[in-house]
Amino acid sequence: MTGYRSAAAASAAARRPAAASLQAELRIWWREIDRVLLCLVLLLMAIGTVAVAAASPASARRLSTAGTKLPELYFFWQHVVWQMLGMAVLLGVSTLPRVRARRAAVLLAGVMTFFLLLVPVIGVEVNGAHRWIDLGMRFQPSEFLKASFAVTLAWVLSWRARDPNLPVVSLAIGYTALVAALLMMQPDLGSAIVFSGVCLALLFMAGVSPARIGGVVAAGIGALVAAYFLYGNARGRIDSFLGGGTAFDQVDLAWRTLVAGGWTGSGFWLGSRKMSLPEAHTDYIFSVIGEEFGLLVCALVVLLYLAIVVRVLMRAFDAEDLFTLLATSGLGAVLGGQAFINILVNLRLFPSKGMTLPLVSYGGSSTIAICFTVGLLLSLSRRNPHLSRTTPGLARIFGLDAATPPPRRPVLERSVP
């Protein structure tokens, strides 16, 4: 009996240091993460939950068949499950140290680029496009590649701080061209534009010369013109947007749904135009928000996305090194770019792209991918509030001499509370 008590006491004593260490790490995590950004993200996810509940009856009725009738809240309950899984991913990734987060992102970029190469061979066709891989769970490699692509490009471009002679700009442009070409084979012009925009933003933030950036922009415009003439899908979407047609009819219907509720909306579950809206719970959920909750709530959603982008840039400009500056800026560009393309489509200012509204739209694997993006952003932007930092990349942007940074205040050692 005495031996049993001694073993139990030893086991309890061994568990106490582990629990204390975990609590200390969580306190450090809570002190270092950007809590303002986390609150903005959680607020958008809460709005998304209500919006999916509003859109679920329209999509459930539209996708029901004679043999299978979906419950009106089918997509809402599915969305809640995916959001819970997404929150677990978001919080788990946000606790990673910066080096591990970078390694995980670079590894994921390699895996998802490999899957992009496989999409034309084993991809699953959905709505006329081969964008999906089915490995028991169906997912789009491009969704998971967006965040890891931004971090990988930031890592490559940050090598300039160590050796300006490395051909990092050519590597970044070449990788972007490869990804864009693979996306156009699906075809997925919208995602190709997002990836190209992220690359352009990172080149600017890395201090690449305006002449070289201008050459990249010219090449991008040339590629877009070539896509118009070589890809029927791209030509059809652009022509339909400019001159009317099936795709434009969907965008027009979304716009009419958006403005039908006026400033204050028709009320929860009282909208009628949403019932004929295609993909009400995903691509056109912003229009459902406008009809049922009003244009004022739509303006609030836009302001939340703007606040996220501004907050990310504020945090990026206070980064301790060029990689963190570029990575956080690139991740902010991924979130902001996808959000504003979706909003512009619903406002009838951009051709239909089949792109969801991040953190708001219903999604399975796409919700996990977006939460992974936010988790990376929170992990890479973590910083000790007691440290003073300078950023060489930021000095180059504003024309300062990066070789003579401003003096540092005394650096305090990070202590575990």
Task: For 207-220, write each residue's pLDDT tens digit.
Answer: 888 888 888 888 87
Average pLDDT, rounded, for the chain: 82
Position 250 pLDDT exceeds 90: no
Sequence-distant (6+) residues with CB within 8 A of 125 are 132
* Lowest pLDDT segment from 97-101, 127-131, 299-303: 127-131
Alpha carbon distance 170, 176 (integer Å): 10
DSSP per-residue codes, 198-221: HHHHHHHHTT--HHHHHHHHHHHH
What number is the average pLDDT over the span 264-290?
Answer: 88
Q: Which of these, 70, 73, 51, lies nearest to 62 by C-alpha position?
A: 70
Give the H or E element holding residue 125: strand 124-126
Q: What is the pTM of this model?
A: 0.84
Task: For 108-161, write each residue's pLDDT tens digit.
Answer: 999 999 999 988 888 777 666 677 787 777 888 889 999 999 999 999 999 887
> Six-digit token pair at 85?
């899984």
The domain spans of the chain are: 33-383+391-397
Percent of the chain residues past pLDDT 70, beyond the cut: 82
DSSP 317: T
Q: Find out whether 202 and 153 touch, Cβ atoms under 8 Å.
A: yes
Position 22 pLDDT exceeds 70: yes
Position 408 pLDDT exceeds 50: no
Position 333 pLDDT exceeds 80: yes
> Six-digit token pair at 262?
């006026």
Alpha carbon distance 164, 187 (integer Å): 36
What number is the average pLDDT over the span 79-87?
Answer: 94
Task: For 336-373, write each residue's pLDDT tens digit.
Answer: 999 999 999 898 888 777 788 999 999 888 899 999 99
Of 15 and 285, the one with more pLDDT: 285
Residue environment code for 215-227, b if the CB has 16+ CB neighbours within 10 A, otherwise e = ebeeebeebeeeb
What number is the average pLDDT over the span 252-263?
Answer: 87
Position 379 pLDDT exceeds 90: yes
